Chain A
Amino acid sequence: EVQLVESGGGLVKPGGSLRLSCAASGFTFSSYSMNWVRQAPGKGLEWVSSISSSSSYIYYADSVKGRFTISRDNAKNSLYLQMNSLRAEDTAVYYCARDRGVYSNDAFDIWGQGTVVTVSS
């Protein structure tokens, strides 16, 4: 079964750090670009970051640039998001999601269940 499972969320104080993980199974992880998308409580979807299959191309939303770092370990079938200098507005459910295709920009066809990040003092 094709699956993504996030972990690492929790409660953190403003200015703190957190590292999210996403474990992939059921497909050839190393062939696909991967993404992080977040959803603040009661709000819509916001793309956070993308990483290409070989980590050659990495992109960030302006709202997290300089604070968050996306990475992957293809040998471990895992995607990561290192989040530093966290702010209250980073409070959200964080989803990892797979690009549908292997060649270029594509829709997100597989999503994890999400992990909750709460930034509060």
Chain B
Amino acid sequence: DIVMTQSPDSLAVSLGERATINCKSSQSVLYSSNNKNYLAWYQQKPGQPPKLLIYWASTRESGVPDRFSGSGSGTDFTLTISSLQAEDVAVYYCQQYYSTPRGPTFGGGTKVEIK
């Protein structure tokens, strides 16, 4: 199985400041035939289902504010919130969807709070 490791487990950031979350996969999720990284980011607020933010490592889902951005390739990825807003308090998960038939796997999550 591809293991996804997120860091840090939690972080506290002041309003308007940058938040950076890292995600590392145990093997590359870059598919050479189409040059796409099979990596997504989700946001989950308490009592709600996850919400897709980013797919193909850096493509923002429709309706997601542009303060959210994804970067990286191969095994190392980053989700950046450029200017943290109060409504961004949530747990963020990375997910690889490269692996079939073993199935997609999620990172352990990063809790983002206001400092």
Contacts and interface: CB of A to CB of B under 8 A. Distances in A.
B52 A107 contact: yes
A59 interface: yes
A45 B93 contact: yes
A101 to B, nearest CB: 9
Contacts, number: 58
A94 B93 CA distance: 17
The interface centre, meaning the residue of A46, A61, A107 with most chain B CB atoms within 10 A of its CB, is: A107
Interface in B89-114: 93, 95, 97-98, 100-109
Given A44-B108, A44-B109, A109 B103 contact: no
Contact of B104 (A44, A47, A111, A113): A47
A100 B101 contact: no
Interface string A96-121: 00001000011111011110000000
B55 A114 contact: no
Interface string B17-56: 0000000000000000000001010101000111110010
A59 B99 CA distance: 11
The interface centre, meaning the residue of B40, B55, B104 with most chain A CB atoms within 10 A of its CB, is: B104
B20 to A, nearest CB: 20
A111 B52 CA distance: 9
Given A105-B97, A107-B97, A112-B49, A44 B55 contact: no
Contacts of B108: 44
A48 to B, nearest CB: 9
Given A50-B103, A106-B97, 7 more contacts: A44-B107, A44-B109, A95-B49, A100-B55, A105-B97, A108-B52, A109-B55
Interface of A: 35, 44-47, 50, 57, 59-61, 95, 100, 105-109, 111-114
Interface of B: 38, 40, 42, 44, 48-52, 55, 61, 93, 95, 97-98, 100-109
